[in-house]
Amino acid sequence: MKPEVTLNTTRDVIEAGKAYVMSTYAQLPVVLTGGRGCEVYDMDGNTYLDFVAGIAVNALGYGDEELKAEILKIMEGGLTHCSNLYWSRPAVEAASLIARLSGLEKTFFCNSGAEANEAALKLARKFGSRTGRSRIISMEQSFHGRTYGAVTATGQPKYHAGFSPMVPDIVYARFNSLESVEELIDENTCAVITEPIQGEGGIIPAKEEFLKGLRKLCDDHDLLLIFDEVQCGMGRTGRPFAFQQYQAVPDVMTLAKGLGAGIPIGAMAAGSRAADVLSPGDHASTFGGSLIAAAAASVVLRRLSEGSLLSSVEKTGALLRELLLDLQKEFPVITDVRGMGLMQGIELSCEASPVVKASMEKGLLLVQAGVKVIRFVPPLTVTEGEIMKGAEILRSAFAETVPS
Ligand SMILES: Cc1ncc(COP(=O)(O)O)c(C=O)c1O
């Protein structure tokens, strides 16, 4: 038998992690243990202002009392999971709130963004199968997750390397180029999938004409329009869903990340053209919409429907953008500032990792989106004071690492 591990220090945890956890991530030498508001703590007693939020997941920050109370209520009832053989109130409530906030009709619950996209790809193929069509158009530079369908839909060759053959009949158009999409549409095409704001691809918002044009192309050619809002949805842009910033409504929308505020849950919501494409037996997920996850989602969705959280995102997002633009004036290595609400990115003319590292050492957690882009996706509850403090730390990290 292997020896029992001791996990009392940062070093213990990292050493045991290297021995026992499969190495699929390039992890930083930090062990996070707790959090409050917009701050997280590590095992060595350091405090960080967190502009990563578990990569756009921890929408309500840390220690939210309502979230805690709702989860405890489910635990006290004893039924943490009941399988989708039966109805449960939390799942129905969460689905009804998604419908209310989005105008879409029905929701399928699963556990992650990749799984939500997998469901959307299957739904698209089922929709197409009625007329013998299977081709799905995705976008270059997109990111949709790591399961086979989702990673095939991901238009970045680096994520495919070593894993071929990929899922057939998924092709890639240029993001923000309607002509490029139009060129790929043929009699075999059944759907188009895109993120309204590309996240992992470098925080690149779609142009309004692009999403509107996609809506028209999909209507003209009887295609399903799928928006992946896994990262940009759930209040991040200042509206419940990013598509509401544009005049383009999808047939299918996928969600995850912020939906459960840290409790894993994914969802695929569908409008009238797609809501009844799947029938019993077509698709399933054992844990999908489990009571705790759905209760957490309902807390976030209720918070979004109340309005004050969204108006705060608008304010803090605008402030963040303004401060990043100020920083750009001071540091010309920042070649672009882009995004919406609390999903902002800065592109540098050099590698971003030294700035991210220096920020962490000064107490600010940041995450990259590619080699040259730093992304800012703090909890939606971040305050203006915290945005100012974060920007100040970032400024000093820039001053230390790049020429002004
Ligand atoms: C737009 C988008 N779609 C899908 C995914 C995959 O989500 P998950 O990691 O929950 O499978 C991500 C994750 O970063 C994402 O940003």
Q: 251 pLDDT band (50/70/90 cuts)?
A: very high
Q: Is residue 13 part of a domain?
A: no
Q: Is residue 106 part of a domain?
A: yes
Residue 202 near residue 170 (C-beta atoms within 8 A): no
pLDDT at 228: 99
Q: 55, 57, 144, 252: which to mutate for ligand 1, most atoms within 8 A of CB?
A: 144
In the predicted structure, residue 96 carries a pLDDT above the cut 90: yes
Convert the pLDDT of each residue in 98-131 to its tens digit: 999 999 999 999 999 999 999 999 999 999 999 9
Distance 199 CA to ligand 1 centre (A): 9
Q: Is residue 85 part of a domain?
A: yes
As to burial, measured by CB atoms within 10 angstroms (0-12 exposed, 13-18 middle, 19+ buried), residue 365 is: buried
> In terms of residues, how long is the chain?
404
Q: 143, 234, 241, 252: which to mutate for ligand 1, most atoms within 8 A of CB?
A: 143
Within 8 A by CB and 6+ apart from 84, the residues are: 284, 285, 286, 288, 289
Atom of ligand 1 at shortest distance to CA of 232?
Answer: 1
Q: Is residue 219 part of a domain?
A: yes
Q: 146, 231, 241: which to mutate for ligand 1, most atoms within 8 A of CB?
A: 231
Q: Is residue 215 part of a domain?
A: yes
Is 118 touching ligand 1 by the criterion CB < 6 Å? no
Is 230 touching ligand 1 by the criterion CB < 6 Å? yes
Domain that holds residue 229: 69-306
pLDDT at 73: 98
In the predicted structure, residue 225 carries a pLDDT above the cut 90: yes
| Number of domains the chain contains | 1
> 0.75 cut: is pTM over it?
yes
Q: Is residue 144 part of a domain?
A: yes
Q: Is residue 59 part of a domain?
A: no
Distance 123 CA to ligand 1 centre (A): 18
Convert the pLDDT of each residue in 124-182 to its tens digit: 999 999 999 999 999 999 999 999 999 999 999 999 999 999 999 999 999 999 999 99
Characterise 55 by phi-psi region: left (phi > 0), alpha (psi -120 to 50), beta (else): left
Cross-strand pairs, 345:
338, 375
Is 54 touching ligand 1 by the criterion CB < 6 Å? no
**C-alpha to C-alpha distance for 269 and 271, rounded to whole angstroms:** 7
CATH of the domain at 168: 3.40.640.10
Percentage, residues of the chain above pLDDT 90: 98
Q: Is residue 119 part of a domain?
A: yes
Is 113 touching ligand 1 by the criterion CB < 6 Å? yes
Q: 307 pLDDT band (50/70/90 cuts)?
A: confident
Distance 293 CA to ligand 1 centre (A): 17
For residue 149, what are its two tokens?
A: 């369908």
pLDDT at 336: 98
Atom of ligand 1 at shortest distance to CA of 146?
Answer: 11
Distance 149 CA to ligand 1 centre (A): 13
Sheet (strand 39-42) strand order: 32-36, 39-42, 47-50, 364-365
Residue written as token pair 């600010």: 364
